[in-house]
Amino acid sequence: MNLYLRYFDSETLVKSVDEAIDFLASISEIGMNPVLEADIRDYAASDVYYPKRYKIRPRVYFIIIKTEASTMQDFKEKKALRSGPDAQAKERVASPVVQKLNIEQEGWYEGTIDFKRVLMVPGTGKFQYRDAHFVAQVKAMSGLDCYNRIVDHLRQRVDERSQFPSAKGKNFSFRYLGKAK
């Protein structure tokens, strides 16, 4: 496992923790100390693959990223992305929400959407976002088609600055009512 380190324009890809500590010690602003060194060693030895960021002073950090890239070029081109059994399983299996949205079953659907609607405040003439709840029964081919029809309908009737949630999020739900006659 290699480590990528970056502090502003200074960056490196090292093969050991000792090389990483030497790199950080060469930057005077970081102020390498035994506590920081021990924390970096713990991070490198752990099973955590998330990038780690260390605060130097307010709004100034350096980062460390574990990678399997052997060269800086590979790291920059993202050729050595971590691909364990968990990552492969996630690629193959779509989330249940997406699967449910894409099931094609022609008929009537009841869709519920919570969105941010832009409304004018009468006293001031200024605009503000307000939470809006909308329920409609539509004839559609799938849950995603139901979402698209509802959003198309609303876009024609509300201010164009209104914000609509994703069909995959918690602010949209639907249920199948039955066959279309």
Strand partners, 108: 139, 178
Instruction: Give all strands (DSSP E) within the chain, no chain letters.
Output: 2-7, 10-14, 52-57, 60-67, 107-120, 127-140, 172-178
DSSP 81-102: ----HHHHHHHHSPPHHHHHHH
Q: What is the pLDDT of residue 59?
A: 87
Q: What is the pLDDT of residue 93?
A: 58
Give tens-digit pLDDT for 34-56: 998 999 999 989 888 888 888 88
Q: What's this model's pTM, rounded to 2 decimal places?
A: 0.49
On average, the pLDDT of the chain sits at 86
SS3 of 72, please? Answer: helix
The confidence band for 92, taking pLDDT boundaries of 50, 70 and 90, is low
